[in-house]
Amino acid sequence: MSSILGLRQSSTRDIGEIILLKEHGPSAHSPSRSPPFFNIPPVCLIHVAVMTISSTLVIRQIERPPHLTVAEFAYGYIPSESIAIIFIALFGVSTALHTAQAVYFRLWWLLPTAVLCGIGEIIGWGARLWSATSPNATEPFRMQISATIIAPTPLLAASFIIFSQVIVQLGPAYSLIPPRWYAWVFVPCDAVALVVQGVGGGIAAAAQDRVAAQRGANIMLGGIGFQFAVIVLFSLLAADFVVRYLCNAPWRSTALPGGISNSPTRGPLTRRLAAVLAALGFSTTVLFIRSVYRMIELAGGWHGRVIRTELYFNVLDGAMIVLAIFTWNFVHPGWFLSGSLAAGGDGRRSNEHKGLVMAMRSDTKADDADCESHWHH
């Protein structure tokens, strides 16, 4: 994430301000040599093309009091070395477990989702550890910003995929939209949110005045707000599905040949499926909390109290992602979404469960047709 503040004079006490500098040649108010520049890292997301945005954000070194390190100037504090090590260890354990579980159950979609999230968090917290041990290094600051902002997005995509599988097992007729639409609609929405944030950073970086710079910052805030709206919409659809399933109030019924209406297939709510629904609720809640924190953080700017308080970041960002990623280690879809587990744990299902899934898929196809007809009308 990048934040652009206005082109204005600031005192040496404004140590947390990161500003946009343009090279207009030497002047009486600026040193003759060029200030140190660094680029905003690429904004990338799984299933979408990598988008690279170059900017000219710098920490204004001439405003930094000599007794402050680069880390103190950029963060407002020096990141805790012990806290960074703890988070690196936690994300390392979870990522290793997710990798082994994905291979064991042959659930390859977990690699570009949960595993990718863990790798991104390890990079982000590794950069914070770098800042703690080398407080005058400028590289780790932007590394941790980009990594910790982007990394949780693939994990959210995993929640969409897992919920779509829950719908298939419990009954697609109780969902407002077909199961496959959760991956088709919500995952691209996450990509759009990150691209919007990147575009906002590019606009702010190219700004010639404070108005344009603020416009870019507003676009970035809009990207985070859009992602927040996606989480809210997903939560509403998931809640609607659960309520309709429990009340046996499907959105539609399956049509048989001859126009005869048939009751939709309703799978049993086993303890494992109930655990998955609880895990989805918990994971979505902590990601929701983290999104609210990020929105407040960006709205307050780089000199704001929120972003300059390490405890807020450790608890409302790092701890929330730890809880979300470990949730799917313990309530793993390979164990909890496979019906009766077959011996050997190779992801194969019992004949009874296969029959149920085939019936569900039949309903799903009918639901797709009903939904398309509904939207056309």
Tokens of residue 172, six digits? 């697609």
Give just the sign of the alpha carbon dihedral 162, 166, 169, 175: negative
Compute the distance between CA of residue 170 and CA of residue 175 in angstroms, rounded to an integer. 10
Residue 47 CB: number of other CB atoms within 10 A?
13
Residues 6+ apart with CB under 8 A from 368: 178, 180
Q: What is the mean pLDDT of the chain?
A: 73
pLDDT at 366: 47
Task: Label residue 270 exposed, middle or buried (CB < 10 Å: 0-12, 13-18, 19+).
Answer: middle
Q: Which domains are delineated in the chain?
A: 19-376 (1.20.1070.10)
User: pLDDT category, 258, cuts 50, 70, 90?
Assistant: low
pLDDT band at residue 43 using 50, 70 and 90 as cut-offs: very low
pLDDT tens-digit map of 221-243? 777 788 899 999 999 999 999 99
More confident residue, 340 or 284: 284
Confidence at residue 200, expressed as pLDDT on a 0 to 100 scale: 63
Does the pLDDT of residue 283 top 60, yes or no?
yes
For 358, the token pair is 């085939």
For residue 267, CA distances in Å to 174, 332, 334, 358 come to: 11, 20, 18, 12
Look-up: residue for tokens 């914070």? 128
Distance CA 127, CA 373 (A): 51
What would the mean pLDDT of 39-67 be, rounded to a whole number?
Answer: 40
3-state class of 349 per DSSP? strand
43: which 2 tokens? 């904004």
The percentage of residues in the chain with a pLDDT greater than 90, rounded to a whole number, is: 41
Q: Facing residues of 38 across strands? A: 57
CB atoms within 10 A of CB 126: 20
What does the pLDDT look like over 109-168, one tens digit per residue?
999 999 999 999 999 999 999 999 999 998 898 788 778 877 888 898 899 999 999 999
The model's confidence at residue 267, banded by pLDDT at 50, 70 and 90, is: confident
Distance CA(195)–CA(222), nearest Å, equals 11
Instruction: Compute the distance between CA of residue 230 and CA of residue 238 in angstroms, rounded to an integer.
Output: 12
* Burial of residue 204, with CB atoms counted within 10 A of its CB: 0-12 exposed, 13-18 middle, 19 or more buried: buried
- Beta bridge partners, 341, equal 349
What pLDDT does 190 receive? 76
Beta-carbon contacts of residue 257 (< 8 Å; ≥ 6 apart): none
Cβ-contact 216, 202 below 8 angstroms: yes
User: What was the pLDDT predicted at 187?
Assistant: 79
Structure tokens at 194: 């990150």
User: What residues contact 264, with CB distance under 8 A and at least 6 apart?
Assistant: 171, 172, 173, 174, 250, 252, 253, 254, 363
pLDDT tens for 346-363 read 444 444 344 444 444 444
Of 179 and 118, the one with more pLDDT: 118
Where residue 198 falls among pLDDT bands split at 50, 70, 90? low
Please count the CA atoms within 13 angstroms of the CA of 11 that sit on its side-chain side: 1
Question: What is the rounded distance in angstroms from the CA atom of residue 346 to the CA atom of residue 350?
Answer: 12
Interatomic CA distance for residues 117 and 120, integer angstroms: 5
pLDDT band at residue 218 under the 50/70/90 scheme: confident
Instruction: Please give the residue that has the higher pLDDT: either 310 or 257.
Output: 310
Q: What is the rounded average pLDDT of the residues 286-311?
A: 87
* pLDDT for position 162: 94
Per-residue pLDDT tens over the stretch 69-125: 888 888 889 999 999 999 999 999 999 999 999 999 999 999 999 999 999 999 999
